[in-house]
Amino acid sequence: MPTDELVQARARALSSPLRLRILRLCLHESRTNKEIADILELNPATSLHHVRTLVSNGFLEAEEPRKGNRGAKEVPYRSTKLSWGTRIPDAAPLLVDTFLQEINGLSPQEMQVVRVGLKLGEDSQKEMMARLRAVIEDYAMREPEEDGVPTSLFLAHHLDLTGNSRSED
């Protein structure tokens, strides 16, 4: 069982949209710090700080060093998927920010969006979210398909503030 200190350190490590994006980049393909910095348009020193934070908390692991284009030693990193089961307090704004950063620049044809309004009781809401989470977790824990294309899924369940079920003050 993780200590409170470890739980807090892991939550802090995941409290950055940039770190969450790094984890996504390294989920299906090992990437070096330089590759991460180039993709995210960061200074390599900045990305290295975030990579080291993720490594020290078990979210990324270094693979065997390899030789780069100019013969220099490069260390590729790969996501451990530990973040999937790690809870982040008050995560909603962080995850929305990360989602918005990840879709920035995509065309409408590069996204599939579903939006629906529902009126469900508490038990039905809990059942729906548990069923959705089970389906998502099933796919998240599968091995990547050889011919697959990296994609992301963002799901948000929220109150409808335009509904008439809330009392007005």
Q: Return the CA Rg of the chain.
A: 19
Provide the pLDDT for residue 165: 53
Banded pLDDT at 166 (limits 50, 70, 90): very low
Q: pLDDT of 33-60, one tens digit each? A: 999 999 999 999 999 999 999 999 999 9
Q: pLDDT of 61-90, one tens digit each? A: 999 999 877 888 999 999 999 998 888 888
Provide the pLDDT for residue 169: 42
Provide the pLDDT for residue 71: 82
Neighbour tally for 89: CB within 10 Å: 9
Q: List the Cα angle 139/142/148 in 5-degree steps.
A: 85
Banded pLDDT at 168 (limits 50, 70, 90): very low
Four-point Cα dihedral 151, 55, 19, 73, nearest 10: -80
CB 76 within 8 A of CB 32: yes
Question: What's the residue count for the chain?
Answer: 169
- Asked if the 4-140 domain carries CATH number 1.10.10.10, the reply is yes
CB 25 within 8 A of CB 60: no
* Selection from 83, 103, 81, 104 nearest residue 16 by Cα: 83
Q: pLDDT of 85-144, one tens digit each? A: 888 888 899 999 999 999 999 999 999 999 999 999 999 999 999 999 999 999 988 988
Provide the pLDDT for residue 70: 81
Q: pLDDT of 3-42, one tens digit each? A: 888 889 999 999 999 999 999 999 999 999 999 999 999 9
Structure tokens at 154: 């963002």
